[in-house]
Amino acid sequence: FGTALSGTFPYAEVAVFVGKNPWQSHGFQRARPVLREIASDPNRTLIVIDPCRTETAEMADYHLRVRPGTDAFCLAAILGVMVQEDLPDHDYIRDRTQNSREILEVLRQVPVSDYASRAGLTEQMVREVGRRIARSSSVSVYEDLGIEQSLHSTLNSYLEKLLFALTGNIGKPGAMNANPSLVGISNGHLSSKTSPVGGHRIIGGLVPTNVIPDEILTSHPARFRAMLIESANPVHSVADSTRMRDALRALEFVAVIDVAMTETAREAHYVLPACSQYENWEATFFGASIFDQKELRNSFTLRAPILDPLPGTLPEAEIHRRLVRQIGALTDKDVEPLREAASEGRAAFASELARMVSERPQLSEIMPVLLYETLGPSLGAGNEAAAAVWDVVHNFAGKNAEALRCTGFAGPGDKLGEALFDAIFENRSGVVYSASRYEETWNRISSGRVNLTITELIPELKSLQDEYPSSDPEFPFVLSAGQRRSGTANTIIRDPKWRPKDPHGALWMSPVDASELGIQSGSRVRVITKRASAETIVDVSDRMLPGHVALPNGTGLWYPDREGQEFLHGVSPNELTATGHRDWFAGTPFHKHIPARIERLR
């Protein structure tokens, strides 16, 4: 697409969730009320593809309860129905897509009945779902970690997008749309950059997390030697925690910036304590889309601190400034002309900044720090960090002037960006900064056409015909690690006292499996994978298919008791995972499909 598309679920005739449980993980505004509205409307359809009977699946008109790891077969079968029954709009494919011939030919050859069976589904349900999606007036689709962190990860995402790309559900209410955001994640173009040791693809500027230890634990001359880790906990969140700890210990230098003494911070040479979000200027650059049946809008909120920092902590902006200064990337000589210009007004500041960056382009790499030091003081004491948004809004205004003017902002050129910055800084409850018609989505798609064939993924799609789902007798269960539940919150809240309903982070298991193992809710078991083992308790749940078990996210953290003695609370899922268990294309970990064995403990 060349841009990110998201669903407008409140107006969708058909809503499809693939490996996604928005009842718990949300992903769009008013998720629970919107789900109820769709489920209660006889003219609308809710479709869920998920091996687990989630809260969202319980509301669905169609719950395609696939065998774990067979999502690609299910999606290919649905698409096969569409193409083989000639359901796509040929005029749309001709006018709005490109490179359609190869993928359409592959989908014509999909053995629908066979693939449905391999996925544990009936052919009838698959055909009904394919027809319902293809014949509806509007479809919104949402994929999540359930398929992204499972077998055929990248292929799953490709096939999921074909559900709406083949059926013309782009650029209209209730369908998939591109809403301009202040900060874009990626332009969708594949970079040729690779990691220095393993030659792994760098996508969106990111090295795949599962290969990071391999880029360190080697004698290769280009190996990573140091890491600066900010607001991240890779010892807990990256596959194979043991190997990640070994990798950090092998580095010459590790510094961590965080609000807590995390599992990663314990491995660092230096820990720089940061203020919490309540003591800091902060914002998010996603999740603020608002819309009606006529237009898409987007809003942004810059949140000011409401508490004073704790002693010994600093705002991240100040930590960044000190680090940049210490390494010599910014000097008084750089700062003084800009501070003087800022005292004369924003126009003078913008002119001087443009001159300096044209002469020294490397300054653009530290722009947030540069603005914090120079424009920041002009915003008033304690407000300096807000200056980082100034450059962001000017870039947005330069690229999306019409969308900005449609919200009521006026003025030519730089004045448009200045007006937006002032509004964001002064309005602490947020500002609507873009408005556009749904059909303008097509202006944001590269070349105005959808590229239907991703050549690199076609061989994998074809190879599904030779793949039959099976299990290893030594590890007969599929473990989904990091399941989202009502009592989990990633690792945002480390104190286990807030989680009274499930303090141990129980292993969910089907009644069939529990009966065969002679266990019940509350029984202790050992979970064994090819990498390691852990002990936990069981919660018998008919939400799970036989052979499928799950551990929640957000557990396995060290936290002190009242006496200051630290305890490990729950199982850390990544103590059980392996870095090599990942997608061949993007390196995405298969956290939702880990071969495992369960043993009852006496």
> Is residue 455 domain-shared with residue 475, that is, in the same domain?
no
- 398-421 average pLDDT score: 91
Q: Which two tokens stand for residue 325?
A: 């200064």
> Is residue 121 domain-shared with residue 169, that is, in the same domain?
yes
Are 124 and 159 contacting, i.e. CB atoms less than 8 angstroms apart?
no
Three-state SS annotation for 379-436: HCCCCHHHHHHHHHHHHHHHHCHHHHHCCCCCCCHHHHHHHHHHHHHHCCCCEEEEEE
**Listed residues 279, 301, 329: the one ending a domain:** 279
Task: State the Cα–Cα distance between residues 557 and 567, nearest whole angstrom.
Answer: 8
Task: State the Cα–Cα distance between residues 145 and 591, nearest whole angstrom.
Answer: 9
Residue 87 has pLDDT above 60, yes or no: yes
- 26-49 average pLDDT score: 96
Residue 486 has pLDDT above 60, yes or no: yes
DSSP annotation of 7: E
> Is residue 14 domain-shared with residue 134, that is, in the same domain?
yes
Q: Phi and psi of 352, rounded to 5°?
A: -65, -40
- Return the number of other C-beta atoms located less than 10 Å from residue 63's C-beta: 19
Q: Which two tokens stand for residue 193?
A: 């950059």
How much of the chain is helix, strand and coil, in % rounded to 5?
40, 20, 40
Provide the Cα torsion 65, 177, 79, 91; round to 10°: 160
What CATH number does the domain containing 239 carry? 3.40.50.740
Residue-level pLDDT at 189 = 58
> Is residue 305 domain-shared with residue 348, that is, in the same domain?
yes
Indicate the pLDDT class of residue 40, thresholds 50, 70 and 90: very high
- 437-463 average pLDDT score: 94
Are 536 and 525 contacting, i.e. CB atoms less than 8 angstroms apart?
yes
The identity of residue 591, as a single letter, is H
Task: State the Cα–Cα distance between residues 142 and 243, nearest whole angstrom.
Answer: 33
DSSP annotation of 119: T
**Listed residues 433, 461, 489: the one ending a domain:** 461
Is 68 a domain residue?
yes
> Is residue 365 domain-shared with residue 475, that is, in the same domain?
no
Is 401 a domain residue?
yes
> Is residue 248 domain-shared with residue 161, that is, in the same domain?
no
Provide the Cα torsion 112, 116, 121, 126; round to 10°: -30
DSSP string, 476-516: -EEEEEEE--TT-BTBS---GGG--SSTT-PEEE-HHHHHH
Residue-level pLDDT at 520 = 97
**Listed residues 256, 279, 302: the one ending a domain:** 279
Is 301 a domain residue?
yes
> Is residue 345 domain-shared with residue 481, that is, in the same domain?
no
DSSP annotation of 560: E
> Is residue 398 domain-shared with residue 488, that is, in the same domain?
no
DSSP string, 143-169: E-HHHHTSTTHHHHHHHHHHHHHTTT-
> Is residue 72 domain-shared with residue 10, that is, in the same domain?
yes
The proportion of the chain whose per-residue pLDDT surpasses 90, expressed as a percent, equals 86
Q: In whole numbers, what is the pLDDT of the chain averaged over residues?
A: 94
Residue 77 has pLDDT above 80, yes or no: yes
Please state the domain count of the chain: 4
Strands 289-291, 295-300: pairing is antiparallel
Side-chain-side CA neighbours of residue 301 (13 Å):
9
Residue-level pLDDT at 24 = 93
Task: State the Cα–Cα distance between residues 510 and 547, nearest whole angstrom.
Answer: 8
Indicate the pLDDT class of residue 285, thresholds 50, 70 and 90: confident
Is 75 a domain residue?
yes
- Return the number of other C-beta atoms located less than 10 Å from residue 442's C-beta: 15
Q: What is the pLDDT of residues 536-587, one digit of tens each?
A: 999 999 999 999 999 999 899 999 988 999 999 999 999 999 999 999 999 9
What CATH number does the domain containing 565 carry? 2.40.40.20
Is 344 a domain residue?
yes
Task: State the Cα–Cα distance between residues 206 and 213, nearest whole angstrom.
Answer: 14
What are the E-state strand segments in 133-269? 139-143, 176-177, 226-230, 253-258
Task: Compute CA distances 296 → 7, 17, 407, 423, 433, whole Å.
Answer: 11, 22, 11, 20, 11
Residue-level pLDDT at 288 = 56
Q: Which residues contact 265 (CB under 8 A, 6 or more apart)?
A: 256, 258, 271
- In the numeric block, the tokens 């809003």 are attached to 299
Q: What is the pLDDT of residues 344-371, one digit of tens each?
A: 999 999 999 999 999 999 999 999 999 9
Q: Phi and psi of 323, rounded to 5°?
A: -65, -45
Is 1 a domain residue?
no
Name the helix (H) or strand (E) containing 372: helix 367-374
Is 545 a domain residue?
yes
Query: Which range is most confident: 202-206, 293-297, 521-525?
Result: 521-525
Residue-level pLDDT at 594 = 98
Residue-level pLDDT at 413 = 75
> Is residue 49 domain-shared with residue 157, that is, in the same domain?
yes
> Is residue 296 domain-shared with residue 423, that is, in the same domain?
yes
Nearest one of 524, 558, 520 to 541, comparing CA atoms: 520
Task: State the Cα–Cα distance between residues 291 and 435, nearest whole angstrom.
Answer: 9
Residue-level pLDDT at 398 = 92
State which residues form the domain around 84.
6-178+445-461
- 199-215 average pLDDT score: 94
Strands 566-569, 557-560: pairing is antiparallel
Indicate the pLDDT class of residue 484, thresholds 50, 70 and 90: confident
Q: Which two tokens stand for residue 597?
A: 């064995």
Residue-level pLDDT at 229 = 98
> Is residue 32 domain-shared with residue 161, that is, in the same domain?
yes
Residue 286 has pLDDT above 70, yes or no: no
pTM flag (> 0.85): yes
Task: State the Cα–Cα distance between residues 296 and 438, nearest whole angstrom.
Answer: 6
Q: What is the pLDDT of residues 258-267, one digit of tens each?
A: 999 999 999 9
Helix (H, G, I), strand (E, B) or coil at 45: strand
What CATH number does the domain containing 107 carry? 3.40.228.10
Are 145 and 591 contacting, i.e. CB atoms less than 8 angstroms apart?
yes
Indicate the pLDDT class of residue 522, thresholds 50, 70 and 90: very high
Q: What is the pLDDT of residues 112-169, one digit of tens each?
A: 999 999 999 999 999 999 999 999 999 999 999 999 999 999 999 999 999 999 999 9
- 506-522 average pLDDT score: 97
- 299-308 average pLDDT score: 94
- CA-angle at 90, arms to 85 and 94, nearest 5°: 145
Residue-level pLDDT at 186 = 55
- 420-424 average pLDDT score: 96
Instruction: Decide which of 480 and 410 is more confident.
Output: 480
Q: Which residues contact 423 (CB under 8 A, 6 or more apart)?
A: 409, 431, 433
Is 186 a domain residue?
no
Residue 393 has pLDDT above 90, yes or no: yes
